[in-house]
């Protein structure tokens, strides 16, 4: 297995706690913590890609969701601790960020679809109003094929915006799963930190 050989032969990677914690299960962690870290990698990748939403003129929702997702995933991967030092608060904070990113991406999908529809409708309205006809000869408006023009506008905008919509839908799904796993990991970390009586966790005395 070439990747495994390369990993073993690289002193930096083999001794890097960050690499080990990101790319493999840490035996010192709770299963819930390892699970959410694995999903966080996917959130980080999709979050970076969804930042393409900043390219949509005036519609920055997808990009904002991407930034929130990247920050939340980075917290899970780098700042939640491991083993006995695992932090429930960090998991909750990351979960809130990623849940917020999921909400923003859901809004972004709706906004982008409305944006696409509005552009097509604007082309149709302008065509019907004779905006694209020769102002010196209003009678040549019939020469403009409004259906064809609308189809071209729809296809052009669609090529640009529908890939972003698909990415945002996929990102929303991954973020929703990751947020749920983050809160589950926080609950597991808190339960582990409580003292036990006959195997039942009890609250610490104040």
Q: Split the chain (206 residues) into runs of 10 and give each run's mean pLDDT.
A: 45 46 65 90 94 80 93 90 77 95 95 86 73 56 62 77 89 96 91 61 49
> Residue 154 has what pLDDT?
76
Classify burial at 3, counting beta carbons within 10 Å of its beta carbon; exposed 0-12, middle 13-18, buried 19 or more: exposed
Which pLDDT value is given to residue 24?
59
Burial of 2 (0-12, 13-18, 19+ CB in 10 A): exposed
For position 136, what pLDDT does the model report?
56
Question: Cα 5 vs. chain centroid, distance in angstroms?
Answer: 32
* Single pTM value for the model: 0.70
pLDDT of residue 71: 96
Q: How far apart are CA 34 and CA 91, in angstroms?
A: 12
pLDDT value of position 79: 82
Between CA 176 and CA 102 the distance in angstroms is 6
Quick one: pLDDT at residue 49? 93
């Amino acid at each position: 297995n070439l990747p495994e050989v390369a990993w073993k032969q690289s002193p930096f990677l083999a001794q890097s706690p960050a690499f080990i914690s990101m790319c493999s299960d840490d035996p010192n962690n709770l299963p819930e913590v390892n699970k959410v870290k694995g999903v966080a990698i996917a959130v980080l990748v999709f979050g970076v890609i969804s930042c393409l939403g900043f390219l949509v003129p005036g519609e920055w929702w997808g990009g904002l969701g991407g930034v929130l997702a990247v920050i939340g995933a980075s917290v899970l991967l780098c700042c939640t601790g491991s083993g006995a030092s695992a932090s429930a608060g960090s998991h909750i904070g990351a979960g809130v960020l990623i849940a917020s990113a999921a909400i923003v991406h859901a809004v972004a999908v709706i906004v982008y679809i409305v944006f696409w529809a509005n552009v097509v409708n604007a082309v149709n309205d302008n065509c019907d109003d004779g905006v694209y006809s020769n102002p010196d000869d209003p009678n040549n408006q019939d020469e403009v094929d409004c259906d064809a023009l609308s189809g071209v506008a729809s296809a052009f905008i669609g090529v640009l915006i529908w890939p972003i919509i698909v990415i945002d839908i996929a990102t929303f799904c991954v973020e929703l799963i990751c947020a749920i796993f983050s809160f589950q990991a926080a609950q597991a970390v808190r339960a582990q930190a409580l003292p036990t009586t006959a195997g039942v966790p009890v609250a610490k005395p104040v």
